[in-house]
Each structure stands twice: as C-alpha cells, then as structure tokens.
Structure 1
Amino acid sequence: MPSSTQKIAVLDYGMGNLHSVASALQRVAPHDEVVLAGTPEQAQGADRLLVPGVGAIRDCMAGFVEAGFAPLLNDAIESGLPILGICVGMQIMMRRSEENNGVDCLDIFPQPVKFFGNDLQEDGKVGACGSRLKVPHMGWNRVEQKRAHPLWKDIEGGSRFYFVHSYYVPAEENADIAGQTDYGVSLAAAVARENIFATQFHPEKSADAGLQLLKNFVGWNGKI
C-alpha cells in the first residue's frame, strides 16, 4: 500500500459520471488528493489515472481526443501507472465500436464493442422462446472472476455489480478478460492487462463490492 498521500486523477472530458466517482474515491482514500483533471496538465504528477465515461461513443472519443488525453493515457501505460477504466471508459480502450454506425476507438485492447440487439433473448438467440431482455442492460448482475487480480482482493466471486449499457465487449476469444457476466450473451464485465484494469460495470454505484474494488485500485502498484 502507498505510504504517503497520492494524487488520483479522474479524467474529465465532459462525458463521465465524475462527481459520484470522485466521491467514492475520496470515501475509500480520505487522505489522498482526488483531482478532476480537465487537461493533461491538471493530471500531471498523478500516481494513478481513472478514465470514466457515460454517453455515446462518438462523443466520448471526440471529447477524449480533443482534451489531449490520448497521449497522456499512452504515456501512463508505458510508465506502468495504475489505470482504471469505467463503463465507456473501458469501451474507448477497445479497437472499434458498432455504436454511431461504427467508431474507431483507442485500440489498446483488440476486442470490438457490439450492440446487444433489439430482440435480445435470455438464451442469447434472436426469436427464441426465452424471455425478451431489455436494452439497455440496466441493474445488478453477478460477475464471475475469470482470473486472479489485485483488484479482486476481498471481493467474493459472483458478487453483484451495477451495469448500465447497450453495447458490450464479447467474452468469447477474449484473452484479456478478468470478469464475465451474462445478459443474453456472455460479456466482459472486466478486462485487464499489465497496469490497466477496466470494468463495464460502475463500481461507484455497486455498494460494498464496488467500494472494495476502488479501494483495491487505490492501493494497487500496477502489477499483476
């Protein structure tokens, strides 16, 4: 665990649920400095970065790039700085999204982001006899931990987390998957690689399990 006060930068590119994220971070790290950074300069010297995101992928990508955060994120990855992505903050790290007729993302992870569809069934088959599922996927769902990771510390497998999304990263053939859930299809609830951990769910809205994950992030050294 860090022994001194650290700076945690929450990247503000106009598309995040910033205040609830910052409030949750401050709750689990009361002695640390939580900064809402609207420019790379405001994130300078941060000990860890949090990339939030709520909204349409085209607007999120445009805001992220225009704010100058793409080079900042790449530099943070190269330096081994601990990074946490949340919801669309996870999706913008993927290769490409189907949303808005197709949008290229940051291509940090090679997976696509797909639309659930307009006729999503419980068993994942369009037109099947299973119950029709609402899109967006909104509410609590169990997350199966697919591999050990420091951010899963003291969180039981199968714990429930809160989701709000219409697009998803597939679980199949996903070498970076760290957590999985099912909503008509199997999807990546979390992905991880080296010093990056990203979640489709909202830990800041996920009660004790979510706060524990944020606490784990605050204490994580960026290594697996």
Structure 2
Amino acid sequence: MNVTAIVDYGVGNLKSVTNAMEYLGLKTCITSDPKELERADAIILPGVGAFPDAADRLRASGLDALVCREARRKPILGICLGMQLLFARGEEVRDCEGLNLVSGCVRKIETDLKLPHIGWNSLTFPNPSPLFAGLDEGSYVYFVHSFCGVASDPSQVIAQTDYGVPVVAAVNHGNVYGCQFHPEKSGEVGLQILRNFGGLNR
C-alpha cells in the first residue's frame, strides 16, 4: 500500500491530518526521518503558528532541502502554514525565505473584516486541478489564518475564496499542492480533497 509521510518538524497539527487520512483508508506515517520521507509515495507538510518560526525549524532540521528535492518526483501537499511555506518568502513578523516551490510571497490579508479569518468560506476554481475533482464551485471549507499567499503566477492558483478581498485558497505547481484551509476539518469536501491527493501517487 502507498504511504503518505506527514512531516513532523515541531509545528504541525499532525493527529487530525493523520486521522482524516486513515479514515479514508490511506496509510500514513508521522516522521522527521529523511529516509522515511524519501521512501514515502507522497508527503504532507502541515503547519500551525508563525511563518518564520516554522521556516527556521524546517531549515534547522535539514528537511527544507529534502522536501524541495522530493517535490521533483512525488506529490506534496502543504496545509495552512504548510502551504505558506511553499512560497518564496513570507512577511509575517519579519521577512523570511520560504521553500520557493510556488512563486510569490505571503502577506497579511488586506481586508476590513476581522482577523484572523476563522470559519467556513466557499471556493471558486480559476484553474482546473485534480485536487478538486468531484467538487462543485461554491463548496465550503474551513479557514483559520491572518496571512495568505500572493501568487506571482496566476496559473498556479487553483482555488480562491473571498474575505472582503480575493484570497488565494489553494495553489499547484508541478507535484506541489497547497491548501490555505484545513481539509482535515472541512467535512466531506475536505475528505474528498484528501482522497484526491491520495490518488495522485497511484
């Protein structure tokens, strides 16, 4: 059976992602072991907290280079802060380099609405992606964030939402996918997204 490795670098909500994947019958392992990450058929990069803290932890562990290398040959999904780390840089707290797997940067949402943005919002799909196969425009997912990715290349944006302003909700470049929302907390819609991701490595 194919295995999806969930990267443990000290800042992820690991158990809820694992539970959702296992509910779908998708085998996972939580690991910071480079050999296990290399053996895995796909990788999920979770994340909770501030961009520079997470980037520093990923870099200190040496897993930043490994994730970038593995992205050339297998599907990778960043969730919430994990998606933000896929961008070239972030502006939260201080300017900080990301993994540069997706073009653009991460900035505070420029909205008049209350931050953080917490709750359910609907998606539109400006570009087609296998990640959203079987889902209709207007599907609702669960967000918790104050910062969002600003993509340099609009073709890499596969989902948007509206929070007083357009907000990038998901990205895709090659094998690399990112969801700003939490699919593991987004009910049947989120499960379908994880199911679709699990099917990418078959």
CA contact (8 A) 1:111 1:174 kept: no
Pick from 86, 92, 96 the counterpart of residue 93 of structure 1: 86
1:43 alignment partner, SS class: helix
Is residue 40 of structure 1 aligned with residue 40 of structure 2? no
**Structure 2: which amino acid aligns with 1:204?**
E
**Structure 2: which amino acid aligns with 1:45?**
R
> 1:199-214 to 2 correspondence within 5 Å?
199-214=179-194
Pick from 10, 13, 18 the counterpart of residue 14 of structure 2: 18
Instruction: Tell me by how many angstroms 1:41 deviates.
Output: 2.6
Instruction: Tell me by how many angstroms 1:173 deviates.
Output: 5.5
Taking every aligned residue pair, what percent have the same amino acid on both sides? 38
Q: Distance in 2 between matches of 1:174 and 1:62?
A: 28
**Structure 1: which amino acid aligns with 2:97?**
D
* Matched residue, 1:83: 76
Q: Distance in 2 between matches of 1:171 and 1:180?
A: 11
CA contact (8 A) 1:170 1:186 kept: no
Q: Distance in 1 between matches of 2:183 and 2:144?
A: 11
* Matched residue, 1:115: 108
Is residue 8 of structure 1 aligned with residue 4 of structure 2? yes
* Matched residue, 1:125: none
> 1:153-172 to 2 correspondence within 5 Å?
153-170=133-150
Q: Distance in 1 between matches of 2:197 and 2:153?
A: 26
**Structure 1: which amino acid aligns with 2:82?**
G
* TM-score scaled by length of structure 2: 0.94
* Matched residue, 2:47: 53
Q: Distance in 1 between matches of 2:116 and 2:15?
A: 23
Instruction: Tell me by how many angstroms 1:95 deviates.
Output: 1.5
Is residue 196 of structure 1 aligned with residue 176 of structure 2? yes
Instruction: Say which structure is richer in strand.
Output: 2
**Structure 2: which amino acid aligns with 1:194?**
G
**Structure 2: which amino acid aligns with 1:96?**
R
Instruction: Tell me by how many angstroms 1:221 deviates.
Output: 3.5
Moved more, 90-99 or 39-48: 39-48
Q: Residues 16 and 113 of structure 1: is their aligned pair in 2 closer, same or farther, counting only changes over 3 Å?
A: same
* TM-score scaled by length of structure 1: 0.85
CA contact (8 A) 2:72 2:175 kept: no
Q: Which runs of 5+ in 1 are unaligned?
A: 122-132
Structure whose CA Rg is larger: 1
Instruction: Tell me by how many angstroms 1:33 deviates.
Output: 2.8
Instruction: Tell me by how many angstroms 1:68 deviates.
Output: 1.8
CA RMSD of aligned residues (A): 1.6
CA contact (8 A) 1:162 1:203 kept: yes
Count how many residue pairs are aligned between Structure 1 and Structure 2. Answer: 202
Instruction: Tell me by how many angstroms 1:53 deviates.
Output: 0.7
Q: Distance in 1 between matches of 2:33 and 2:60?
A: 10
